[in-house]
Structure 1
Amino acid sequence: MSAKKGNETKLHEDENTDSGFLSGEQLFSSELESGANLDSDSKNLHSASVDPADVNPDSGVVCLSENLSLLDLDTPTEPPRVVEPRNADIAILNVLFQQDEDGDSQLHIAAVHGCQKSVSTLINLCPDKSWLDMPNEYGHTPLHLAAMSGHEVITRMLVVAGASIAARDRRGQTPIHIAAEMSHVECLKALLAPVKEHPMRKMAAILNQKNYNGQTCVHTAANTGHIKTLQTLVYYGADINMREGLAGSTALHIAARRGDVPLVQYLLGQCPGVERSPRDWAGRTPRRIARRNSAARAFAAFKDDSDSESDEDDDSYDSDNDSLFEKLRDTLNPINVA
C-alpha cells in the first residue's frame, strides 16, 4: 500500500507486525541500497544522506504516517466519557415528584383525579419504582388513592408498573382493604389479577394481612355487606373464616351482628368452606348473636343436626352469663348521690 499511485511498493509480511514504521524503514533502506528508480518527488525526498536511525515516522515515511492517521484503533486513546444526567432533567424530576405540604406528588394528584395520560407519563418518567410507593401525610400511596377513588384503569397501570399492593397507610390499610371497604370490585380485580411481568406473589398472605384494628379485607367487606366484594376476595384466596384481632369475629359473626339477611344467606348457602358455628373470643356463635335481630330467620332456614350442639352450648352460655350478672348485681351496693 502506498500513498501515491506511482509508488507500487509492496510491504513484505513479517511475523513481527508493528504499526508500520519498521516495515517502512526496511523498504526505505532497501531502496537506498539497490538504487531503484524513483520518481522525481521521491528523488528529491531521498537526495540527501539520511541515516535510517534518524527517520521520524511522521516526517520520513509519508505514506505510512498518512494512513496511520486514518486507522480506527480498537484501543481508545482516552477513557470513555460517562454521560451524566443533565441538570435540566434532574430539575424536571424534582418538580414532578416533589411533595406538597400534604405529602402529595403529581402522581398522587393524577391518580386520585383519574388522569390516565398523566399517570402513564409519570410512570414512564419515574427513575425508580420505589417512588411509586411514596406515601403522603396520611400514608396513602398513589395506588391507595386510585383504589379509593374507584379508578380501576389507573389502579391496574400502577400495579403493572410495580406499585406495592401490600403498602400500609396510617391505619394499616392496604389498597386491598380500601377497595373492599369502598366496594370497588373492579379495582379489587385490578389489584389481585396476576401480572405476567412479575413473579408469582403470595396472594393469600397479602389478602389475610390485618390492619391496625385487627381486620382483614374480608372483615372490611363484611362490614359493608357487599356480597360481590366478598365473592371476589374468596375467589382470589382470602380466608373467609379468618378471625379479626379484637373480638375474634368472623365474617359470619359480623353479618349476624348487622342483621344482614342476604349476607348470612350467601355465607351459609353459597360460600364454600364457611364454618357454620365459629366462636369468637367470648365463646359466642353467629347464631347466638343473631337471636335478637332479623338474621335469626336466615340461621333458622339453614339449621341442621350439626347445629343442635351449638344451640345447647349457647343456652348454657346465656344461663351462665345471666347467673353471673345476677351475682354481680346483688353484690353491688347502691350509691347514695343525694
Structure 2
Amino acid sequence: MSAKKETKVFEDKNTDSGYLSGVISSEQLSGEIDVGAVCDSENVCQFSEEQIDSGLDLSECLSNVKISDTDTQVPRIKVEPTRSLDYPPYQILFQQDDDGDTQLHIASVHGCEKSVGTLIRVCPEKSWLDVANDYGHTALHLAVMSGNAVVTRMLVIAGASLALRDFNGETPLHHAVAANNKDCIQALLAPVQDQPHHKLSTVLNQKNYNGQMCVHVAAAAGHVDTLNTLAYYGADLNAAEGLAGWTALHIAARRGDARLCSALLQRGASARARSMAGRTPRSMAARTAARHAFSALSEDTDTDTDSEDDEDDMFDSDTESLFEKLKESANFINVA
C-alpha cells in the first residue's frame, strides 16, 4: 500500500472494532494480526467475514437468558372492537299492556314528572309519544284529563301532537276546555321556544264527533275566561257547530247566560248569525235573562219577523215537552 495514497475508511454504526471474539491465543498475543485487508479501486478497505466481530465474549453474560417460543414475536397493540352501549330496553318501556297503555301513559296520568322526562329523553322516535291506548287516549290526553299542566307542557315541548282525537273525537284541548283548566290550556297553546310557530287554527277549530269546536264546549259550560283565552289564541267565535249550525253566541243565548253573551258580543261575535233553522242569537234569548245583553243593539241587527218569534216561542219554553206544544198548536178537524 503506498504511503502517498490515503486509504479512506467509511465509518458507520456497523463498523467493526477489529477485535476477535473468543479466547485470545498466545500466538495472537505474540505476533501481529494479519488484517488481510484488501482495498478495491475506490480505496475502500474490505475485511473478511471472520474479522467482522466486536471482540467481546458475551457467552457467559447471556448464559442465564432464556428465550421461550411464545415470546419470539414482537408484542402488538390489540384493538378491540367497540362495544355497544347498554341502552334501556325500549321495547319494554313503550310496550302496550292489556289496555293499550305504555309506561308513558301511566307516568302521565299520575303526574310523574321525572319518569315522563326520562321516557321523553330515551324515546328514539317522536311518533312513539303519540301512541294511543284502547280508548284512543294518548299520553297528552291523559295528562290533560288528570290536570297535570307541567307534564302537559313537557309533552308539548317534546313534540306530542295536539290534533289527535280519542274515540269521542275530542282532542286534548277539548278535554282542557271542558274541565275549565286554564293552566292546561296555556300549556297546550303557548308557543314553544326554538321551534317554528305552528298555526293553532287547525286545533282550535277542530270538531269532535258531536260537531262541537272548543268554543262551543266552553259556551255550553258557561266558561267565560276560557272563551276569552281561546279568542286570544285565535279561535273563531262565529264558527257554527255541525248539528244545528249554532255559534257560541247561540249557545249562550239558549242558556240565558247574559254575562257570557255580553263577553262574546264584546269579542266581536255576530248577533246576526243564523242557525240551520234560520234563528239568530237574539231571537233565542228573547224569553231568557240573556235578552238584556242584546238590548243595546240596534233594531236592524235582528230582522226576524213576529211570526218567526212566535214560532220560536213554541220551542223555547222549558216547562212543556215538544209533544205538548205540537198538540196545542195543531188544528184538529171535527169529522163527526
- So what's the TM-score if we normalise by structure 1? 0.68
Work out the CA distance in 2 between the residues paired with 1:327 and 1:195.
59
Work out the CA distance in 2 between the residues paired with 1:192 and 1:47.
98
Give the letter for the 1:304 counterpart.
S
Give the letter for the 2:289 counterpart.
S
Equivalent residues of 2:224, 2:260 under 8 A apart: yes
Confirm or deny that 1:305 pairs with 2:299: yes
Give the letter for the 2:243 counterpart.
L
Partner of 1:180: 177
Distance 1:326 1:195, change over 3 A: same
Structure 1 residue runs without a partner (length 5+): 1-33, 49-65, 71-77
SS of the residue corresponding to residue 256 of structure 1 reads helix
Partner of 1:98: 95
Distance 1:101 1:248, change over 3 A: same
Equivalent residues of 2:280, 2:302 under 8 A apart: no
Once the two structures are TM-superposed, the CA of residue 243 in structure 1 deviates from its matched residue by 0.2
Aligned-residue identity in percent: 50
Work out the CA distance in 1 between the residues paired with 2:16 and 2:93.
69
Distance 1:257 1:81, change over 3 A: farther
Map 1:194-213 → 2, pairs under 5 A: 194-213=191-210
Give CA deviations for 1:115-161 in whole Å, capped at 9, x if unaligned: 11111111111111111111111111111111112211111111111
Work out the CA distance in 2 between the residues paired with 1:263 and 1:83.
65
Partner of 2:286: 291
SS of the residue corresponding to residue 99 of structure 2 reads coil
Once the two structures are TM-superposed, the CA of residue 259 in structure 1 deviates from its matched residue by 1.7
Confirm or deny that 1:264 pairs with 2:236: no
RMSD of aligned Cα (Å): 3.6
Work out the CA distance in 2 between the residues paired with 1:141 and 1:42.
88
Q: Which of 217, 238, 245 is 2:242 aligned to?
A: 245
Once the two structures are TM-superposed, the CA of residue 166 in structure 1 deviates from its matched residue by 1.0
Distance 1:258 1:333, change over 3 A: farther
Give the letter for the 1:307 counterpart.
T
Q: Which of 90, 111, 118 is 1:121 aligned to?
A: 118
Work out the CA distance in 2 between the residues paired with 1:47 and 1:291.
133
Distance 1:35 1:312, change over 3 A: farther
Work out the CA distance in 1 between the residues paired with 2:238 and 2:309.
24
SS of the residue corresponding to residue 285 of structure 2 reads helix
Work out the CA distance in 1 between the residues paired with 2:139 and 2:201.
23
Work out the CA distance in 1 between the residues paired with 2:171 and 2:297.
36
Give the letter for the 2:10 counterpart.
A
Confirm or deny that 1:36 pairs with 2:10: yes
Residues matched between the structures, number: 265
Work out the CA distance in 2 between the residues paired with 1:217 and 1:42.
102
Map 1:138-149 → 2, pairs under 5 A: 138-149=135-146
Give CA deviations for 1:24-75 in whole Å, capped at 9, x if unaligned: xxxxxxxxxx97334458899x987xxxxxxxxxxxxxxxxx9xx99xxxxx
Give the letter for the 1:277 counterpart.
R
SS of the residue corresponding to residue 166 of structure 1 reads coil
Equivalent residues of 1:285, 1:314 under 8 A apart: no
Once the two structures are TM-superposed, the CA of residue 196 in structure 1 deviates from its matched residue by 2.1
Distance 1:109 1:318, change over 3 A: closer
Give CA deviations for 1:222-268 in whole Å, capped at 9, x if unaligned: 11111111001000000000000111010011111122222112112
Give the letter for the 2:152 counterpart.
T
Q: Which of 270, 279, 299 is 1:275 aligned to?
A: 270
Map 1:19-34 → 2, pairs under 5 A: none
Work out the CA distance in 2 between the residues paired with 1:139 and 1:284.
36
Give the letter for the 1:113 counterpart.
H
Which structure has the larger Rg over C-alpha atoms? 2
Equivalent residues of 1:277, 1:310 under 8 A apart: no
Work out the CA distance in 2 between the residues paired with 1:127 and 1:311.
64
Once the two structures are TM-superposed, the CA of residue 296 in structure 1 deviates from its matched residue by 2.6
Work out the CA distance in 1 between the residues paired with 2:143 and 2:314.
50
Give the letter for the 1:37 counterpart.
E
Once the two structures are TM-superposed, the CA of residue 174 in structure 1 deviates from its matched residue by 1.1
